[in-house]
Amino acid sequence: MNYKESAQAIYDAVGTEKNIVSLIHCMTRLRFKLRDESSVDDAAVKQIPGVVGVNHQSGQYQVIIGNDVANYYNELAKLGNFTDDNDDAEPEKTGEKVNWFSRFASFISSCMSPLIPALIGGGMIKVILILLPLLGWLSTKGQTYAILSIFGDAPFYFLPIMLAYTAAQYFKVTPMLAVTIGAIMIHPNFTAMVTAGKSVSFMGLPVTLANYSSSVIPILIMVWLMKYIEKGVEKVCPTSLKSILKPLLVIFISGTLALVVVGPLGTYAGDLLSAIILFIQGKASWLAMPLMAAFMPLIVMTGMHWAFSPIFLAASIAHPDSLILPAMLAANVAQGAASLAVMFKAKNKNTKQIAGAASISALLAGVTEPALYGVTLKYKKPLYAAMIAGGVTGLFMGIVNLKSFAFAVPSLISIPQFINKAASANFINALIVLMASFVITFVLTWLFGIDEEPEPVAATATPVAETPDDNVASGSQTTTKIYSPMAGEVINLDSVADATFAQKMLGDGVAIIPQDGKIYAPFAGTVMTVFPTKHAIGLKSDSGVELLIHCGLDTVNLKGAPFTQHVQTDQRVAQGELLMEADLEQIKQAGYDTTTPLVVTNTKDFVAVEATDKTVVTKDDVALYVI
């Protein structure tokens, strides 16, 4: 499925950004709020590959996709600045408790990830500036070298401005006002004051002389504060003067705080973090390096490697990094080697393709996310192999004090970042780390093996002699019993007041008009997904049946308020285990239908889906038979 092409077609069909007010998605649908729904040709939208159907409901133009909806949403998000116009959708404003560490890690990753292409490009130019003079192809005193240095330095020098933009998108701050504050912090005249070293004050307030170029923490803190500054200014400004006063006050207040309070605090915080890490490294580098290299995959998973950016982004001949980038060299190569071993070891063709592509990405570009999320973390044993290799090579790096003399994401291509004329052994040590990490990881992954998932079995395959109670053998077919997840009245899907379910666009099944709000597991299996708004849950039985339980109709709009979640994604559940509780009265008072469809979303994989002949069921009664 080409998500990009289909997303572009959907985007064009609904009228592009000119007609789109906002876009969110639920378990199965893209939910557009459009300026003019009548301008959209429903028939044309239905013809787009991947689109199951469309629905006009609750002021939304709903494009029904199915379980793959998140992939289409991600591609659509790249085409325009779509936001949910309801501020209550922001994570920090929901009633759901969010782990502060997870929120911080998500924030750092969201802000830094869009900058990766620029940072990689600038870093590779710096690597070239190390390599070409060594080969005698470029003079360090020439103008070409000087201009290339500008190319390489620009992404790092103007990092606060770029971060201001990405952070503004995260916090929903006016982007150009945030960029302006970033520009104030690295303005040439202010930088000149810092260089001069004389005391500076602003309206009698002392200004700390700090160089904010290439800094990360100060601007991130500042944009977070701007979220509240903008809201405060919005409230006090008269409507007639808002277009003039709002930008004036926001820039004045934010600029003052940036130079007098936030900038210095952020700088001190970054310096303190760097000092602590460097202190530990200086006192026990033999311990710091193995730990950093071994746990680097987990650090990358959380996005917390960006918290060390004040250390590794400043890597240079004068101030080499002897911790983060060397650790990433071992970890990145290990991820690539583990994926390569999986490619050779696996029997499943799809696994081989994924692992092969992930290996190339990690080894040649230093981009480990495909390997981490698609291979090593999935099969676990390759991850253990990579972490062991990281720890072993990390010990060697700590002993020889391996250093990186330029920032570049460590990989086979960027290995010249470890070259320095004054430390010739450093490059040799880097090559030893690279080869050792690769060999150790590959061998360990091969020895550990992988718990590869078996090839899917057709629904009509001959069953084994013994079948569980909820799987009944009949000739060459197996029937899976799906128990009712709720007590209530059974109705046919075509009676549901929602065309998506009534027309069985997502699959066949039944619906329950519930008597109480308790939702139980209808079979033994795995929780595939629990949507953030908790109104729907996807399950997969041990026999391969994929079931969607959608509590109420259009209840996604309630933002999870009436629901209490008792299970997590990927959790193993037993038949009859409590999954969710719904406050039915609260749903009804909000004006929503509590009818709960049960849909076998992979209906096409089976011969038939038959409903029970009972009209009233409990959690101990069968609701569906999947043959």
Which residues are designated catalytic? 26, 550
Residue 275's Cα: distance from chain center in Å? 30
Segment (H or E) for 490: strand 488-492
Residue 496 Cα distances to 110, 501, 510, 520, 552, angstroms: 40, 7, 9, 21, 10
Distance, in Å, from the CA atom of 63 to the CA atom of 67, rounded to the nearest integer, reads 13
Contacts of residue 233, Cβ cutoff 8 Å, sequence gap at least 6 = 245, 246, 249, 250, 253
Cα–Cα distance for residue pair 118/159, rounded to 1 Å: 10
Residue owning tokens 């969201």: 110
Which residues fall within 8 angstroms of residue 267, CB to CB, at 6 or more apart?
208, 210, 212, 215, 217, 218
Give the whole-angstrom CA distance, residue 181 versus residue 262: 12
Q: How far apart are the first and last CA of the chain?
A: 27
C-alpha–C-alpha distance, residues 181 and 168, integer Å: 11
Q: Are strands 546-550 and 536-541 parallel, antiparallel or unpaired?
A: antiparallel
Residues making up the chain, counted from first to last: 627
CB 605 within 8 A of CB 511: no
Q: Which residue, among 306, 279, 280, has the nearest Cα to 217 in the 3D structure?
A: 306
Contacts of 39 (CB under 8 A, 6+ apart): 15, 19
φ, ψ at 142 (rounded to 5°) = -85, 165
Task: Give Rg (Cα) of the chain.
Answer: 29
Both tokens assigned to 487: 């007590």
User: Is the separation of the CB atoms in 381 and 342 below 8 Å?
Assistant: no
- Within 13 Å of residue 448, how many CA atoms lie on the same side as its CB? 22
3-state DSSP percent of the chain in helix, strand and coil, to 5: 55, 15, 30
* Eight-class DSSP state of 362: I
Torsions phi, psi for 127 (to 5 deg) = -65, -40
CA-wise closest residue to 20 among 30, 28, 554:
30
The secondary structure of residue 577, as a DSSP letter, is -
Is residue 580 within 8 Å of residue 551, measured between CB atoms? yes
Q: Tell me how far the alpha carbon of residue 314 is from its chain's centroid.
A: 26
